[in-house]
Structures are given as C-alpha cells and as structure tokens.
C-alpha cells in the first residue's frame, strides 16, 4: 500500500493556481444551490427517492447487481465480494453514489453550477465511504486480528501525533529519515548571493569543461527549491552539471507577515538581480532560464519585463508544467471559483499579510480528499501503518508561506488572462506582452497532470513571439513529469519532430507527435546544449570577488519553516 500512496500523492503535490482564491463562501454557495434546487421540485425529489428506495430493496433481498468499479481500490478486498454483509454495505454506498449522480444530472442548472454540484457531491460521497471506518473496512479488521489489536493502538498513536504535531491533518509522509544536505539536496555548491528575498545557489561543476552560457532555475514561491536536487538519481541539478551546464538556482525566503507586501514586481526584480549575478560570475552575455509551475509564471513575467525594457540578457526559456492561459474548467475545482470568492480571498490575505503554507496545504488536500486524506486515514489510523518515507512527499510537506501581495498578483493574472493580452494589463512596472518575447522556448507538460493539465500548458506555445518553440509531453503528472530521469523502463514522452510553427491546438499537435521511449531529459539537454554557447574550462572556484561563497548548498533559506 505504501507504494500506491507514494505514487498517488506524488501526482497531487501542492501547486499555486486559482485555488488560492477559493473561499468557503464558494463552497457553501455550491451547497446552497443544491439545497435550493432540491426544494424547488418536490416531485423530482420524490421520484429519485423512490428510485433509491427500489435499489435499497434489491440490496436487502439480495437481488442487487450493483458492484464497485474494478479500478476502485477501496473495494479490492475479497470480503466485499464474498461476505454478504460487506457486499450489502458496499452496495448501499454505491446506491447512494448512483442516486446522487442521477439526481444532479436532472437538476435544472447551468453547466457551471452543475459542475460545482458534482464536485461538492463527490467530496461528500467520498467522505461517506464505508472503507473510511474500522467497521466498514475488512482489511483493517483483519489487521486488528493479525496484530493482536496492536494496529488499533498504533493507529490511535498516529492520530494523536497528527492532532498535536500536525495541526490535526493526517500525515502524508514520514519525515524522520530525511535531513537536508545529508541525504536529500546533497549536490555540492554554495550560496553566492543573499538578499532579503532570496539566496542564489551556484552548484559545483563535475566536468572539466562547461558551456559558456549558464542556466538559472526560478522555483515556485510556495515550494522550496530543493525539488531540483532531491536525490542523486533524480536530481535535475546533477543532470545539468554532469552535462557541462553551469547551474544556478534561486532559493526564495519564506515570507513572514511583515513581508506580506512582497509582490510580483519585487520577485521579478529579484530574478533580474540573480541573472546579473550569474552573468557576472560566469562572464556570460546571456543567461538561460528554466522554471516550473508558478515559478514559470514569474519567469514569464520577467521575460516580458525584459523584452519591454529591451534587455537582452535572457537566452532561452524553459517552462515546465506551467499554465499561462488558464480556463475555469482546466481543473476539477475550477467551477467553484467565483469573482466574489477571489475578492474575499484577497481581502483576507491582505488582513493576515500572508497565506500560511499549512493553510495552502490543507485547502489543497481537501480538493482531492481520496488521494490526500482518506488514503492516509486508512493507512495511518485504521491499518496502523506509518506513512511512507518518500522524498517527493517530504519536499511537498515542507510548505512555505505566500505573501498576500503576490497572491493578489497571481489572482489578477488569472482573472484578466494577462499573459494572453498584448499590452492591456500592467504589472511589475510594465505592460505585459508575450508577443515581444523572442527567446527560444522549451515547454513541458504531463499526460496525467490534473494540477496544470497538459492541454492548458500547450496553450502557452501560441502566446510568444518566439519562432523556435518546442513542446514535450512527459508521461506522468505534475512533479513526476519533471522528475523523470533516465533509467525508468516505463518512461516515455511525446514530441513533434517537424520544425516550424506548432499547431494551434493540443489535439492537432498530438496527431503529429511521435512517441519516444525513455526520459525526456536527454532530449532537453541536447536542446539546451545547442543553445549554451561554446565549451570553456570549468571554473576552479565558485563565485568571484564580488559574489563570494557564503554557506554551502542548499543554503539557509530552505531551512526556514512556516
């Protein structure tokens, strides 16, 4: 079960998006619409009640053919099939699930309201699953017998620990085996610049020669930078330095309430300051930039600002699992987001100064409760097992705060579709216009990414003024799409070999795309090396006279907790 938890949770790592603007009023409003429609048509309610009553009668008399989906792992235990009481319990649950779905289908709601109703009802129904309780979980009952009752004691201990040390949220990861700089984030390097907002980490070369144009990575503001250097076998940093790329990564400071005024303009200025330091240390006239998720939005804003200023320091731009042209139906919870909710979210964040990392993680988990809550309730409390010790989940649980001003700017970008406009939206001291960006682009999406769906990431290919745009579709979802190093026999990616302007839609692109076995990392590295200039002798030391080495990688800011 631990492997399943790792895989599922790794597909659901926290990410910044319009969900930061989701408020309880949006959720309560969706529930209110359901109640209003229920009361408005008693005849319809009576009809569905009769249908459900008929299902219940069949279950009681053993004539029901309701059965769980073969892919629903909650009901895989043989007891659900062979024990008549358990089978009936599952069928009662499935009857409620079926009745709710049929009822919502008949409600006289517009498409958006119906999507909201489905999303809320799914959360409610998932919470009612019998497998979430000891009495309704045969696997947990067997564990009690097999362990002589010790699983109950361990489950209660786990629950008490979460209540007292994890703010009541069920733990997704066992953090005890991990220590930054010891067995996670261990690539050699040094902080070569520290400001109030960020640290710039330079990593030591591992080759005799390096490419003259360096690479700067801009991480998301709500996740810590060491996702780029989790372990030697899946470290983007190690892959870059082992292939001769001079590698630098920004490490954002965890903002406190007093720093809640940091906005997009401040972060863009910090990125530009980092680029100048990278150029000064390496002597390069260009700096290639890569970024993922909300870091990609920041990098895009930086590129737009530099284009407006006619600043030519930017080389290439790599955007990973990043949405620049969002649509409300891109994500499952998108239907819940309202204009009023976004405004309320802004006001509350401004009053608090920040949105705490714990709050962001909690909200995100309840948007996918089966994967991020109930799975762990069963594993940790009912089965009495420890959560898995998995490096990606350790990183995901190492949450950071988000400044109120930056959150407001991200919501403005979402509301106004700022990246799709040409000079109509002003932010970071310029009018945003991606058509002025001509840098070569590499854009990555993930096939099963439900946080930044791949078709949404593909829309970015149509926004820039660049003539050279490469889009790659990795097999996995969100962070797993990025952390997909060579060596995985199941790895594959899709790319369109034909050069020139990419098709206008993701579906058209996919028709002409080729499936390639293996990791996309070598393909990206070849693309990057072709745009990294000539090879030169690797520097003997990190930093320079102006930017002297400070603390060893990954620095001090990654150690700050919420």
Q: DSSP state, 482?
A: H
- CB-based burial label for 76 (10 Å; 0-12, 13-18, 19+): middle
The pLDDT of residue 18 is 46
129 and 196 inside one domain: no
Residue 393 structure tokens: 């989940």
Residue 25 structure tokens: 């009023």
Q: Answer positive or negative: Cα dihedral of 482, 487, 488, 493.
A: positive
Euclidean distance between CA atoms 78 and 70, whole angstroms? 12
142 and 203 inside one domain: no
Residue 524 structure tokens: 């990206």
196 and 113 inside one domain: no
The pLDDT of residue 27 is 60
Q: Name the more confident of 330 and 203.
A: 203
Euclidean distance between CA atoms 445 and 430, whole angstroms? 28
450 and 320 inside one domain: yes
Last residue of a domain, one of 146, 162, 182: 146
For residue 479, the surrounding DSSP H or E stretch is helix 479-482
251 and 310 inside one domain: yes
Active-site residue list: 293
460 and 525 inside one domain: yes
The pLDDT of residue 268 is 98
Query: How would residue 423 be classed by pLDDT, with cut points 50, 70 and 90?
Result: very high
Measured over all CA atoms, what is the biggest interatomic distance in the chain, rounded to whole angstroms?
A: 84
SS3 484: coil
The answer to whether residue 347 sits within a structural domain is no
Percent of the chain at pLDDT exceeding 90: 62
The pLDDT of residue 35 is 65
**CA separation (Å) from 324 to 280, 297, 310?**
31, 7, 22
Q: pLDDT by residue (tens digit) across 16-28?
A: 444 554 555 556 5
Last residue of a domain, one of 84, 112, 146: 146
The pLDDT of residue 235 is 95
Euclidean distance between CA atoms 450 and 13, whole angstroms? 10
Last residue of a domain, one of 116, 146, 176: 146
**Gap between the terminal Cα atoms of the chain:** 30
The answer to whether residue 70 sits within a structural domain is yes
Please check whether residue 284 is in contact with residue 278, taking contact to mean a CB–CB distance below 8 angstroms: yes
Mean pLDDT computed over 493-504? 86
Euclidean distance between CA atoms 287 and 163, whole angstroms? 47
Mean pLDDT computed over 350-379? 83
Euclidean distance between CA atoms 45 and 43, whole angstroms? 5
Please check whether residue 350 is in contact with residue 262, taking contact to mean a CB–CB distance below 8 angstroms: no
Euclidean distance between CA atoms 262 and 185, whole angstroms? 27
Residue 475 backbone dihedrals phi, psi, to 5 degrees: -70, -25
- The reply to whether omega before 335 is within 30° of 0 (cis) is no
Please check whether residue 514 is in contact with residue 497, taking contact to mean a CB–CB distance below 8 angstroms: yes
Euclidean distance between CA atoms 411 and 417, whole angstroms? 10
SS3 11: coil
Euclidean distance between CA atoms 256 and 23, whole angstroms? 22
Euclidean distance between CA atoms 344 and 198, whole angstroms? 29
Ramachandran quadrant class, 166 (left: phi over 0; alpha: psi -120 to 50; beta: rest): alpha
Q: Name the more confident of 75 and 327.
A: 75
Q: Which CB contacts under 8 angstroms, 24+ apart, belong to 122-131?
A: 123/366, 123/369, 125/96, 125/97, 125/100, 126/369, 126/370, 126/374, 127/369, 127/374, 128/93, 128/96, 129/74, 129/93, 129/374, 130/89, 130/90, 130/93, 131/74, 131/75, 131/374, 131/378
The answer to whether residue 80 sits within a structural domain is yes
Please check whether residue 28 is in contact with residue 305, taking contact to mean a CB–CB distance below 8 angstroms: no
pTM surpassing 0.75? Answer: yes
Q: pLDDT by residue (tens digit) across 173-190?
A: 999 999 999 999 999 999
Euclidean distance between CA atoms 560 and 42, whole angstroms? 56
200 and 319 inside one domain: yes
**Alpha helices by DSSP H, 335-386:** 339-352, 357-367, 369, 375-376
Q: Name the more confident of 497 and 13.
A: 497
321 and 434 inside one domain: yes
Query: How would residue 367 be classed by pLDDT, with cut points 50, 70 and 90?
Result: confident
Structural domain range at position 93: 21-146
**CA separation (Å) from 366 to 274, 287, 397?**
36, 40, 15
Q: Name the more confident of 280 and 350.
A: 280
Q: pLDDT by residue (tens digit) across 220-255?
A: 998 899 999 999 999 999 999 999 999 999 999 999
- Mean pLDDT of the residues in the chain: 88
The answer to whether residue 258 sits within a structural domain is yes
The answer to whether residue 120 sits within a structural domain is yes
Q: Name the more confident of 33 and 104.
A: 104
- Residues contacting 340, CB < 8 A, separation 6+: 25, 26
Query: How would residue 167 be classed by pLDDT, with cut points 50, 70 and 90?
Result: confident
Q: DSSP state, 124?
A: H
92 and 201 inside one domain: no
468 and 536 inside one domain: yes
Q: Which of 184, 182, 189, 262 is nearest to 221 (CA)?
A: 262
Give me the number of domains the chain comprises: 2
Q: pLDDT by residue (tens digit) across 292-322?
A: 999 999 999 999 999 999 999 999 999 999 9
Looking only at the bridges linking them, the beta strands covering 215-218 and 514-517 are unpaired
Q: pLDDT by residue (tens digit) across 439-494?
A: 999 999 999 888 889 999 999 999 999 999 999 999 887 788 898 899 888 899 99
The answer to whether residue 412 sits within a structural domain is no
How crowded is the C-beta side of 526, counted as CA atoms within 13 Å? 5
458 and 552 inside one domain: yes
Euclidean distance between CA atoms 259 and 227, whole angstroms? 24
Q: pLDDT by residue (tens digit) across 51-78?
A: 778 888 898 888 999 999 888 899 999 9
- CB-based burial label for 416 (10 Å; 0-12, 13-18, 19+): middle
- CATH number at 269 reads 3.40.50.1820
Please check whether residue 471 is in contact with residue 461, taking contact to mean a CB–CB distance below 8 angstroms: yes
The pLDDT of residue 4 is 56
In the 3-class helix/strand/coil scheme, how is 32-84 assigned residue by residue?
HHHHHHHHHCHHHHHHHHHHHHHHHHHHHCCCCCCCCCCCCHHHCCCHHHHCH
Query: How would residue 102 be classed by pLDDT, with cut points 50, 70 and 90?
Result: confident
438 and 293 inside one domain: yes
With a cut of 80, say whether residue 84 has pLDDT above it: yes
The pLDDT of residue 369 is 83
Q: Which of 13, 528, 58, 558 is nearest to 292 (CA)?
A: 13
Please check whether residue 246 is in contact with residue 215, taking contact to mean a CB–CB distance below 8 angstroms: yes
Q: Which of 562, 561, 555 is nearest to 181 (CA)?
A: 555
Locus of tokens 């969900």: 19
The answer to whether residue 393 sits within a structural domain is no
Euclidean distance between CA atoms 275 and 269, whole angstroms? 10
Query: How would residue 258 be classed by pLDDT, with cut points 50, 70 and 90?
Result: very high
The answer to whether residue 210 sits within a structural domain is yes
């Amino acid at each position: 079960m631990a492997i399943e938890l790792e895989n599922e949770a790794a597909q659901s790592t926290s990410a910044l998006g319009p969900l930061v603007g989701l408020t309880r009023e949006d959720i309560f409003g969706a529930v209110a619409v359901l109640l209003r429609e229920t009361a408005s048509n008693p005849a319809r309610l009576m009809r569905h009640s009769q249908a459900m009553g008929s299902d219940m009668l069949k279950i009681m008399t053993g004539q029901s053919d309701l059965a769980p989906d073969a892919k629903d792992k909650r009901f895989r235990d043989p007891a659900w099939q062979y024990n008549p009481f358990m089978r009936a319990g599952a069928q009662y649950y499935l009857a409620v699930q079926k009745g709710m779905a049929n009822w919502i289908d008949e409600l006289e709601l517009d498409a958006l309201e119906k999507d909201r109703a489905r999303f809320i009802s799914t959360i409610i129904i998932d919470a009612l699953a019998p497998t979430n309780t000891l009495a309704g979980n045969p696997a947990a009952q067997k564990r009690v017998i097999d362990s002589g009752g010790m699983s109950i004691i361990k489950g209660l201990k786990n629950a008490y620990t979460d209540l007292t040390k994890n703010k009541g949220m069920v733990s997704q990861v066992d953090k005890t085996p991990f220590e930054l700089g010891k067995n996670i984030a261990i690539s050699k390097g040094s902080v070569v610049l520290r400001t109030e907002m960020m640290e710039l980490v330079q990593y030591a070369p591992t080759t005799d020669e390096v490419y003259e144009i360096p690479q700067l990575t801009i991480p998301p503001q709500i996740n810590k930078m060491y996702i780029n250097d989790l372990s030697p076998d899946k470290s983007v940093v190690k892959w870059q330095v082992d292939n001769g790329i001079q590698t630098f990564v920004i490490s954002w400071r965890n903002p406190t309430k007093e720093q809640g005024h940091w906005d997009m303009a401040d972060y863009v200025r910090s990125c530009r300051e980092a680029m100048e330091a990278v150029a000064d240390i390496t002597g390069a006239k260009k700096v290639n930039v890569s970024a993922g998720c909300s870091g990609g939005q920041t990098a895009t804003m930086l590129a737009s600002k530099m284009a407006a200023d006619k600043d030519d320091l930017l080389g290439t731009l790599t955007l990973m699992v990043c949405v620049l042209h969002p649509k409300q139906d891109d994500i499952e919870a998108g239907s819940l987001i309202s204009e009023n909710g976004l405004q309320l979210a802004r006001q509350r964040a401004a009053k608090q100064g920040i949105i705490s990392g714990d709050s962001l993680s909690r909200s995100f988990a309840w948007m996918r409760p089966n994967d991020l809550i109930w799975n762990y309730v069963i594993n940790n409390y009912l089965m009495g097992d420890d959560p898995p010790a998995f490096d990606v989940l350790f990183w995901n649980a190492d949450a950071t705060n988000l400044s109120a001003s930056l959150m407001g700017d991200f919501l403005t970008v979402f509301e106004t579709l700022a990246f799709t406009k040409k000079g109509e939206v002003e932010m970071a001291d310029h009018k945003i216009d991606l058509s002025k960006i001509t840098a070569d682009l590499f854009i990555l999406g993930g096939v099963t990414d439900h946080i930044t769906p791949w078709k949404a990431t593909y829309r970015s290919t149509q926004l820039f003024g660049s003539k050279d745009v490469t889009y790659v579709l990795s097999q996995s979802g969100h962070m797993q799409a990025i952390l997909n190093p060579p060596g995985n026999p199941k790895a594959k990616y899709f790319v369109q070999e034909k050069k020139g302007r990419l098709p206008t839609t993701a579906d058209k692109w996919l028709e002409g795309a080729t499936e390639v076995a293996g990791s996309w990392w070598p393909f990206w590295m070849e693309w990057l090396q072709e745009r990294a200039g000539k090879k030169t002798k690797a520097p003997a030391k990190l930093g320079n006279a102006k930017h002297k080495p400070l603390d060893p990688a990954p620095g001090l800011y990654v150690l700050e907790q919420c």
